[in-house]
Amino acid sequence: MTSGGAVTLAGVEKHFGDVHALDGIDLEVCAGEFVSLIGPSGCGKSTLLRIVADLEHPTGGTALVGGKTPQQARLDQDYGIAFQQAGLLEWRSVTENVELPLHVHGVGKADRRARAAELLELVGLHEFAGSRPSELSGGMQQRVAIARALAPSPRLLLMDEPFGALDEMTRERMQAELLRIIGETGAAVLFVTHSIPEAVVLSDRVVVMSPRPGRITEIVPGRRPGARAATDLVPDDVEDVRESGAFFAAITAVREALRKGHE
């Protein structure tokens, strides 16, 4: 199997019994690319992400993750995943939570500790290494979950509304943090969200989906700062992006694509 793409989906279908969730999804996520999936509730965007993660199986078409089947990619730990809930284990310290993927895969304690320290530094939580998850705020817990997802140094990060439960200010700060972290790791990201501004500010490309059965209505270029796909303007700061005319133009484009999907 030869495919340079981080994710390659060809004609992916998903039926849950009589419910037709996904219909003919073709999508390629390149290495290092940030792609958001956006659409109304029930459009199958989470299902699509879960197919890539091998947590669901497509009923038609093919999905490849780094050229492998999703199952092989999961067994090889080629991707990291973050869910809407941080899902930290309350009985483990912050460090031990970040270490979990390495612990499961038999990495020695000294190496685990070193990697966790590095990641906690990256997400700005090194002071909380010994804390319990319950002592952290929601945003901090989500940063621990992202550090955990990055622990095995995956080339692909799957994120299912990771900031969905956070307040707007925390959310904007987390978006800037995520861009910085991804910039340092160079991983490709497939990101599910309900928020148009979030999709636009983070992504190289925003994939707009229609209501059930989920189809790709349109792919709108995002405004990820410093990214290759942001053609006419390359602002160096997330705040600049949020206040730029191109940002609002992209938001309008996504909104129009979403409305088109409803017709």
Partner 1 sequence: MTRAGAVPGAAGVSAGRSERLAARGGALRVARVWPAVAFGITGLVLWELVVVLGRVPAFLLPPPSAIVAQIGAQAPVIVATTAVTGGNAAVGLVAGFVLGVALALLAARSRLFQDLATPVVLAASAVPIVALAPVFTTMFGSTTEVARRLVVTVLVIVPVFVSTARGLRQVQPVHAELMTSLAATPWQHARFVRLPGAVPYIMTGLRLAAPAAVIAAIVAEYFGGLQNGLGSRISSAAANTAYARAWAFVAASIALGLLFHLAGLLAERLVTRGLRT
Query: In the complex, which residues of this chain contact partner 1 (CB under 8 A)?
Result: 53-55, 74-75, 77, 79, 81, 83, 85, 87, 89-92, 100-101, 103-105, 132, 134-135
Q: Residue 105 or residue 260: which is nearer to partner 1 going by CB?
A: 105
Q: State the minimum distance, in angstroms, from the CB of residue 53 to partner 1.
A: 6
Q: State the minimum distance, in angstroms, from the CB of residue 194 to partner 1.
A: 18
Q: Residue 161 or residue 204: which is nearer to partner 1 going by CB?
A: 161
Q: State the minimum distance, in angstroms, from the CB of residue 234 to partner 1.
A: 34
List, in sequence order, every beta strand (DSSP E) within 17-136.
Answer: 19-29, 34-38, 60-65, 79-82
**What is residue 126's DSSP assignment?**
G
Q: Residue 135 or residue 168: which is nearer to partner 1 going by CB?
A: 135
Per the rule left: phi > 0, alpha: psi between -120 and 50, beta: everything else, 226 is left
Q: Residue 18 or residue 90: which is nearer to partner 1 going by CB?
A: 90
Q: State the minimum distance, in angstroms, from the CB of residue 55 to partner 1.
A: 6
Q: State the minimum distance, in angstroms, from the CB of residue 220 to partner 1.
A: 29
Q: Which two tokens stand for residue 183?
A: 């910039």
List, in sequence order, every beta strand (DSSP E) within the chain.
Answer: 7-16, 19-29, 34-38, 60-65, 79-82, 156-160, 188-193, 205-209, 216-221
Q: Residue 90 or residue 263: which is nearer to partner 1 going by CB?
A: 90
Q: How far is CA 217 from CA 20, 56, 114, in A?
A: 16, 23, 45
Q: Residue 132 or residue 180: which is nearer to partner 1 going by CB?
A: 132
How do 34-38 and 79-82 pair as beta strands?
unpaired
In terms of Cα–Cα distance, which of 226, 215, 162, 221 is closest to 12? 215
Per the rule left: phi > 0, alpha: psi between -120 and 50, beta: everything else, 77 is left
Q: State the minimum distance, in angstroms, from the CB of residue 89 to partner 1.
A: 7
Strand ranges of the sheet holding 156-160, from the earlier edge strand across to the other edge: 79-82, 156-160, 188-193, 34-38, 205-209, 216-221
Q: Residue 85 or residue 195: which is nearer to partner 1 going by CB?
A: 85
Is the Cβ–Cβ distance between 5 and 64 less than 8 Å? yes
Q: State the minimum distance, in angstroms, from the CB of residue 138 to partner 1.
A: 14
